[in-house]
A and B are shown apart, each in its own frame.
Chain A
Amino acid sequence: MSEHHVMPIRVYLTIIAILMALTVATVWVAFLDFGYLNTVIAVGIAVIKALLVVMYFMHLKYAAPITRLFAGAGAVFFVILIAITLSDYRSRDWFPFPEPWEQAHEAPASH
């Protein structure tokens, strides 16, 4: 009956304390300069917060494997959507292109 997992209230209180602390942390960190790492840190903290909510408040830690599989699939396809779309934009001005086609420099085939 692991499905009927009743968690002690203490766990909820611990989690909310961590979540609030992380919220303060993410605001504080935003004002420090880490270059491009600022984005990584901000998203990283958000991911940790989301995982805490998912695992404890939403009981995913104690859910059936199939439920966890679906939750994971959601995250994976979310990333796929964004990553592949972005890959187009990041590679649009890649240089150099391959050499132009050699035939272009040949004599015209006919008149």
Chain B
Amino acid sequence: MSETATIAATAEPKNYLTNRHTIQSWLFTVDHKRIAILYLISLTVFFLLGGAAAALFRLDLMTPQADLLQSETYNKLFTMHGIVMIFFFLVPSIPAVMGNFLVPVMIGAKDVAFPRLNLLSWYVFMAGGLIALGAIISGGVDTGWTFYTPYSSMYANSHVILAVAGAFIAGFSSIMTALNFIVTIQKMRAPGLTWFRLPLFIWAMYATSLVVILGTPVVAITLVMIFIERFFQFGLFDPALGGDPVLFQHLFWFYSHPAVYIMILPSMGVISEIVSCFSRRRLYGYTFVAFSSLAIAVIGFFVWGHHMFVSSQSAYAGLIFSFLTFFVAIPTAIKILNWIMTMYKGSISFDTPMLYAYGFLGLFTIGGLTGLFLSTMATDIHLHDTYFVVAHFHYVMVGGGVMGFLGALHFWWPKMTGRMYPEGWAKFAAIVIFIGFNLTFFPQFQLGYHGMPRRYHTYAEEFQILHVMSTAGASVLGAGYLIMAAYLGWSLFKGKRASANPWDARGLEWETTSPPPTENFLSTPTVTQEAYAYDKPSVTHVPPEEKRV
């Protein structure tokens, strides 16, 4: 701290971190970069909470019997893990932290279109999070994060209303952020920054925001319907009145399937930036990648029924949902091809962000391919609600989503904090996380095909060996995360000073100081070339004397 203070006291121009130091200057800030930091801190806490829950039940699953936890506690823990990780970590992760920090900088704007709304979104997020935590502290929720009726609406005796309220409120926060991004990207791009000069991260954020805008309100009203049913005793899904619990599943998955794209599209945007930068080559098939983000966002709304093949949904509806699901696979697969082809004849260096990109490519490929097992109707009948599904979505959401998030964190860490992290430790942690992840989740594919149902507290003894492997892997994974937390924390105070453009990357965010000043640029930049112009030298908008070495 004292060092930061002395730096600020010198002739250095003030940046967004150092221009004011009071608590109020953080809690009432409208600077998108500071809001991003607020989100980063809150999300880290939620990630630790969700991870702790997972660690506990993973430990309990070492043996087939119930030894560590009671059934009720076990059910509450996996519910908490799901709610916290989905609604309070994965959905906001890259948009709220990286998007908030980068969208205005990347398009050369001073801030997002509605800065006060942006701050409000953080408060709303925190309110939702605290209410959900309240539900957990006051006794917990045992419905699973999917809140299926009629269990959630009529049978569960836990704090469903509070949990539903928390998720509902958090939904508003993502809507506010998404709305802000669309308007910002639409209306506030710097002169010369045409649509096809935009970084692909911006395209990904735009597509993600569309999904949030169109999907989140539907889950919001669906959660309100659960609330109405529990609180006012109105039977909206009550079978005794002729209500249909499967209708809840339709409404729920109308959001929650596209929500998978909310979690993965931003990561795809990040990977595009990283692969391009560390291959020193413009992304292969820029236009295709840009439009495929939008295509995935739109097609993603037509496939929700593939979560319901055994729900008693009409076989014909299932047929159509299965058919359309295969179509989402095509743009996704071609994107992987694009990233690989970008490396072809590139000049590849293996800095930490690139290691995460490699991890993403491997894990997300497996996650995507195992999705085919679940969109094929005959195999889904067998695999539905087994550990195969658990493994599949962890490969997509952690292998894809979280790997992208960590890649982004390392790629833009120098920009956000003005410090470099220790490269050796970072590489080590990336490799540990990759290995630990595979050890944890690969055995679960096998468990699933052999019939191990998900959400089981106790299980048949023949499954034990694979569960033990999974738990062992989880401890490696956990160790990887802890190493990362340690060296990132260390780097905040002791890390080497970062230059404006430590990776020699292209893009407006690299043409301002690290960390950027409050309004991002000293004067509004003008863009004269396309994105990823790695064949040309970096265009400098920052006078040399302001650059740190």
A and B touch in the complex (CB under 8 A): yes
Closest chain B residue to A90, Cβ basis: B314
Across the interface, name the chain A residue whose C-beta is closest to B186. A66
Known: A77-B214, A77-B301. Is A88-B254 also a contact (CB below 8 A)? no
Q: Tell me which of A66, A85, A94 contacts B316 (CB under 8 A).
A: A94
The CB with the most chain A CB atoms within 10 A, among B247, B254, B314, is that of B314
Interface string of A79-111 (1 = CB under 8 A from B): 011001101111110100100000000000000
A87–B250 Cα distance when bound, in Å, is 11
Within 8 Å by CB of B317, from A73, A74, A91, A97, lies: A91
Instruction: Mark interface residues in B204-228 (1 if CB within 8 Å of A CB, else 0).
Output: 0000001000100010000000000
Which B positions have Cβ atoms within 8 angstroms of A? 186, 210, 214, 218, 246-247, 250-251, 254, 301-302, 305, 313-317, 320
Contact yes or no, B218 A94, CB < 8 A: no
Contact B315 A97 (CB under 8 A): yes
The smallest beta-carbon distance between A26 and chain B, in angstroms, is 26
Contact size class for A? Answer: 10 to 19
Q: Is the CB of A88 within 8 A of B315?
A: no
Which of A80, A85, A90 neighbours the largest number of chain B CB atoms within 10 Å of its CB?
Answer: A85
Contact A85 B250 (CB under 8 A): yes
B215: min CB distance to chain A, Å: 9
A94 to B315, CA, bound (A): 9
CB distance from A39 to the nearest CB of B (A): 20
Residues in chain A near residue B251, CB distance under 8 A: 85
Complex Cα gap A73–B215 (Å):
12
Closest residue to A67 on the B side, CB-wise?
B186
Known interface pairs A81-B218, A85-B247. Does A91 touch B314 (Cβ–Cβ under 8 Å)?
A: yes
Contacting pair B186 A91 (CB below 8 A): no
Distance of A3 from chain B, by nearest CB (Å) = 12
Specify which chain B residues have a CB less than 8 angstroms from the CB of A81 in the assembled complex. 218, 254
CA distance in complex: A38, B316 (Å)? 29
Q: How far is the CA of A53 from the CA of B305 in the complex (A)?
A: 35
Hey, which bits of chain A sit against chain B, CB under 8 A? 66, 73-74, 77, 80-81, 84-85, 87-92, 94, 97
Query: A94: which B residues are within 8 A, CB to CB?
Result: 314, 316
The minimal Cβ–Cβ distance linking B466 to chain A, given in whole angstroms, is: 29
CA distance A88 to B319 in the complex (A): 11
What are 10 sample pairs from A and B whose C-beta atoms fall under 8 A apart?
A73-B214, A80-B302, A81-B218, A84-B305, A85-B250, A85-B251, A87-B314, A88-B250, A88-B305, A90-B314
Give the CA-CA distance A94 to B320 in the complex, in Å. Answer: 15
Q: List A contacts of B313 (CB < 8 A).
A: 88, 92
Distance (whole angstroms) from the CB of A70 to the closest CB of chain B: 8
Q: CA of A74 to CA of B210 in the docked complex: distance in angstroms?
A: 11
Q: Would you give the shortest CB distance from A50 to chain B, in whole angstroms? A: 18
Minimum Cβ distance to chain B for residue A45 (Å) = 25
Nearest residue (CB) in A for B255 is A81
- Known pairs A66-B186, A81-B218, A94-B316 / 5 extra A-B pairs, C-beta < 8 Å: A74-B214, A81-B254, A84-B302, A87-B314, A97-B315
Q: List B contacts of A84 (CB < 8 A).
A: 302, 305, 317
A92 and B244 alpha carbons, distance in the complex (Å): 13
> Which chain A positions have C-beta within 8 A of B316?
91, 94
Looking at the assembled complex, report how far the CB atom of A81 sits from the nearest CB atom of chain B, in whole angstroms.
6
Interface centre among A66, A88, A89, A90 (most CB of B within 10 A): A88
Using CB atoms, name the residue of chain B closest to A88: B317
Question: How far is A85 from B315 in the complex, measured between Cα atoms in Å?
Answer: 13
Q: Output the least CB separation between A67 and chain B (Å).
A: 10
Residues of B within 8 A of A74 (CB): 214
Contacts of A91 in B (CB 8 A): 314, 316-317
Q: Which 5 A-B pairs have the closest CB atoms?
A: A88-B317, A91-B314, A91-B316, A92-B314, A85-B250
Complex contacts, B247 vs chain A, CB 8 Å = 85
Determine whether the beta carbon of A80 is less than 8 Å from that of B301: yes
Nearest-Cβ distance from residue B220 to partner chain A, whole angstroms: 13
Minimal Cβ-Cβ distance residue in A for B244: A89
> A91 CA to B210 CA in the complex, in Å?
30
Docked-complex contact B214 and A88, CB < 8 angstroms:
no
Min Cβ gap B181→A in Å is 14
CB distance from A83 to the nearest CB of B (A): 11
Residues in B neighbouring A77, C-beta threshold 8 A: 214, 301
A91 to chain B, nearest CB (A): 4
* Given known A77-B214, A80-B301, contact A87–B317 (CB-CB < 8 A): yes
Q: How far is the CA of A77 from the CA of B216 in the complex (A)?
A: 12
Give the docked Cα–Cα distance between A84 and B214 (Å).
15
Q: Chain A nearest CB: distance from B213 CB in Å? A: 8
Tell me the minimal C-beta distance from B218 to chain A in angstroms: 7
Find chain A residues with CB under 8 A from B254 CB: 81, 85
Closest partner residue, chain B, to A81 (CB atom): B254
* A87 CB contacts on chain B under 8 angstroms: 314, 317, 320
State A88–B186 Cα separation when bound (angstroms).
37
Q: In the complex, how many angstroms separate the beta carbon of A99 from the nearest chain B beta carbon?
A: 14
**Closest CB of chain A to B509's CB: distance in Å?**
25
Roughly how many angstroms separate A92 CA and B301 CA in the complex, as a whole number?
Answer: 21
